[in-house]
Amino acid sequence: MTLQAIELDMSEGFESLSEPEQLFIEAAAEHVRSFLSRNRNVTTLLGSDPQAFCLGLKALRRHGILRGRNFCDWGSGIGVISGLAALNGFDAYGIELEPAFVIEADALCRDFSLPAKFVCGSFVPAGIDESFGVVGTYGATDWRITRGRDVYDVLGRHCSEMDLIYAYPWPREVALYEQLFDLAARSGAILWLYRQGEGPRLLVKM
């Protein structure tokens, strides 16, 4: 791999959340409650830490690490992280396999007039060897195989144009996310892996 870990002290020069960030996070929590009440077959939504994400973005900017402002969330759920990225000035894109989540993400960001774009499908770009998609755990293999279309064409931004890619993998799938990022990202791009209880894992493509 051509990835290098980034050691970043998120607490250095601590900044609080802005009022728009706080309002958006509160609204997102209400969207989650409403979504679950309307979709009884979905018992929970796997969510990362939006507050930590906002503070982490500020730390990345403070250290001048980010190459540009193209952001992509691999597995964007109802759009909380992508919405916060858009709120912080990024061109934000979310890719999500579950259609109902994409609809909810569009509604959430529309409520705040945020230009984040969401698409339903696999975040694995066309041209990646399909053998990658079968190296799965927890039975989560299908969503890693691009089927029928390249969602990046729909978004109007290729994976190789993204400057910051965010994901929340199952613990045993971390290496697969890193492998895909190494194959698909451009030099200088950053992969941000959220790990509950462990802090983020940040990697830059060399």
Number of other CB atoms surrounding residue 151 within 10 Å: 21
> What is the total count of domains within the chain?
1
192 vs 177: CA distance, rounded Å: 10
- Domain hosting residue 127, numbered range: 3-8+15-205
Instruction: State pLDDT tens for residues 96-107.
Output: 988 999 999 999
Nearest Cα residue to 189 out of 198, 199, 200, 180: 180
Query: What is the pLDDT, as a whole number, of residue 12?
Result: 56
Q: Helices H, strands E: what count in the chain? A: 6, 7
pTM as predicted: 0.91
Q: Is the dihedral of CA 189, 173, 153, 49 positive or negative?
A: negative
- CATH number of the domain to which 65 belongs: 3.40.50.150
78 vs 45: CA distance, rounded Å: 9
Given a cut of 50, the residues of the chain with pLDDT beneath it are 134-142
**Rg of the chain's alpha carbons, rounded to an integer?**
16
Query: What is the pLDDT, as a whole number, of residue 39?
Result: 77
